[in-house]
Structure 1
């Protein structure tokens, strides 16, 4: 590489200096200009010397071009950003800021109102809780009163049920007593609830009485004795005589008949029992008669049994009323 820089422009021909012989007056204001001009020439000389010493190569030119392109791209990006900034809306004006401040003030006021409203809501909630506690206490008290009332009602219902049961029992006993009186007087008993057959048979039909049975017993005795007699016409004289004696006289030892007719003895015992009002004993005695005598007295015996069965049924109903 040569020491001189390449592609230097040809120097222009310089004119020959003319020397003025006239004396020149130096103005004080021209001194700084002269200093500046001297400094400029000096800088120019330094620059020429630097260019002569460090000439620019093609590689440096390429690097400089790359740098220039990078700078150009950066400038384009900056220009695009500036364009976007220019397209952005204008900043808010003082009027807009005033409106925003007014809205902020309004919001502050609403916030204050909301704080007051929150305080009032808290007070209301406290009152509601107090009322709820009072209401719950009142409800508890009412519940206790209702429980007590229900207990009283239950006891009254139980007492009413007891009274009703007792009244029903008394009414049933009264009806049973009336039926017993009717049975003694020989009148129909009427309808009795849950009455057994021994009583139901006399609901509309009059039952026999002790007086009727006592009055009718002599006829029963005669019928039984007549039925129990045996035809002795074809018997020997001694047998007929013995039979006549037995009809006329009866000898007994306790309940055993030594001499006499057994049916007559049984009828005698039955008659004594009937006169005493002991109809069960009369029936027992009549059960010792012979078959013919029992058949003849069957109707009377049935009447006595029906009377005794009705009495026993009334006694049982009274006991279980």
Structure 2
């Protein structure tokens, strides 16, 4: 087993050199290989004892397949342990060979350097320790398998007589097969129904899309028609609204005109009341733009009235009579004695036939007609009669006639304002 030749007896008997670095061999330890072999033998003995002690049933129907399979697994595990033990034995033999080589090396003379051998020995020691640990683990696994086997043995044994007969199992299998076939048939029918339902759903969806498209077109057409109708109605309403607005504007214009006319009439009424009362027209004229001159002249001066004209008519008539001298001719020449006497007699006595003076002063007749017209309220007729007076009498009546004409002009201006 060693590569070097065995030493001679003389060399073996020679004492070691004094300066040799190899230490003397120490006391021999317990061989780990022997320990592993002993442990494996004990395990095998225990397995054989268990096989011999455990009762076996001769009937084939009483064998539990599960338990038998577990036992076979346990035996296979034990076979694995046996293989591990064989491997350990091989390693032990290798270690023995290495020990022989180590002894041979120890018997050799001191080599120059044995540190590599020491490293190898250390590695071998570590491998031996690892092998010991593996053996311990194998022993632990064997103990665990033993415990599991005991637990399996402690379980109750199944009685085959209590199991269902094979015919019932076959019937149950047949029923299960028939149920499986029915389930498959139902699944096929369900798939067919699902396919038919999917086809119907697709057809319904297509029809719904077509209906939706048709409804959308109809809705668009109706919407367009409604928009056109609404636009037409809006145009008609706009036209009607324009007409109504125009009518309203005209009504507003008429209303403004009526309001203006009403204000004008109110101002005219105020002017008429002031004119009748003989009061100044300044306050009433403030409501009228561009008052007529016939009214503006009486803004601060009281205007004449019919009553004042009637009251002042007698005084003006007396002045006209005084101005009408009977002794004077119309051409300014002096009348004769007879004419003068007749004139004085006519001034004293006046004979009338209605409004016509038959005997007396003609001026007196016109003045009388003017008085009657004034009393009747006809100022214009009164002025017409006064125009027929002789110049001296007409000149005497001129102030009164001016007042009367001013009153007539104011009334005419009021009528124009009221009509305007």
1:149 aligns with 2:241: yes
Structure 1 residue 249, shift from structure 2 partner: 1.0
Q: Secondary structure at the match of 1:277?
A: coil
Q: 1:261 to 1:173 in 2, by over 3 A?
A: same
Q: SS in structure 2 opposite 1:155?
A: helix
Which residue of 1 is the match for residue 265 of structure 2? 173
- 1:268 to 1:146, Cα distance in 2 relative to 1, 3 A: closer
Note if 1:213 corresponds to 2:305.
no
Q: Distance in 2 between matches of 1:231 and 1:280?
A: 31
SS in structure 2 at match of 1:224: helix
Quote the residue 2:152 is aligned against. none
- Deviations 1:6-31 (Å, cap 9, x if unpaired)? xxxxxxxxxxxxxxxxxxxxxxxxxx
**Which of 362, 385, 393 does residue 293 from structure 1 map onto?**
393
- Between the aligned partners of 1:285 and 1:231, the Cα distance in structure 2 is 23
* Aligned 8 A contact 2:326 2:340 in 1: no
* Corresponding residue of 1:35: none
Q: Normalized against structure 2, the TM-score is what?
A: 0.41
Once residues 272 and 147 of structure 1 are traced to their aligned partners in structure 2, the CA distance between those partners, rounded to angstroms, is 66
The 8 Å contact of residues 356 and 365 in structure 2, kept in 1 or not, is answered as no
**Is 1:280 aligned with 2:372?**
no
1:237 & 1:152 partners in 2: Cα distance? Answer: 89
Shift of residue 201, structure 1, vs aligned partner: 2.9
Residues 75-117 of structure 1, C-alpha deviation per residue, up to 9 Å, x if partnerless? xxxxxxxxxxxxxxxxxxxxxxxxxxxxxxxxxxxxxxxxxxx
Aligned residues: CA RMSD: 3.2
Count of residues in correspondence between the two structures: 195
Structure 2: how far apart are the matches of 1:212 and 1:278?
14
Rounded to whole Å, the distance in 2 between the matches of 1:243 and 1:162 is: 67
1:260–1:130: structure 2 CA closer, same or farther, 3 Å change rule? Answer: same
| Higher relative contact order structure (alpha carbons within 8 Å, sequence separation ≥ 6) | 1
Q: Which runs of 5+ in 1 are unaligned?
A: 1-122
CA–CA separation in structure 1 for the residues paired with 2:413 and 2:368: 30
Residues 154/235 of structure 1: CA separation in 2 closer, same or farther (3 Å cut): closer
Which of 186, 193, 207 aligns to 2:278? It is 186
Partner residue in 2 for 1:14: none
- TM-fit CA distance, 1:262: 1.3
User: Is 1:267 aligned to residue 367 of structure 2?
Assistant: yes
Q: Select 1:227's aligned residue among 299, 315, 323.
A: 323
Cα distance change on mapping 1:164 and 1:293 into 2, 3 Å: same
Quote the Cα distance in structure 1 between the aligned partners of 2:327 and 2:300. 44
Is residue 406 of structure 2 the alignment partner of residue 314 of structure 1? no
Aligned partners of 1:203, 1:155: CA distance in 2, in Å?
A: 41
Aligned to 1:305: 405
Deviation at 1:221, TM superposition (A): 0.9
Larger-gyration structure (1/2): 2
Contact kept, 8 Å, 2:371 with 2:382, in 1: the verdict is yes
Residue 67 of structure 1 aligns with which residue? none
Rate the CA distance shift 1:240–1:150 in 2: closer, same or farther, 3 A. Answer: closer
Secondary structure at the aligned position of 1:205 is classed as: coil
- Among 281, 288, 297, the alignment partner of 1:201 is 297
Which structure 2 segments of 5+ residues have no match?
1-212, 329-333
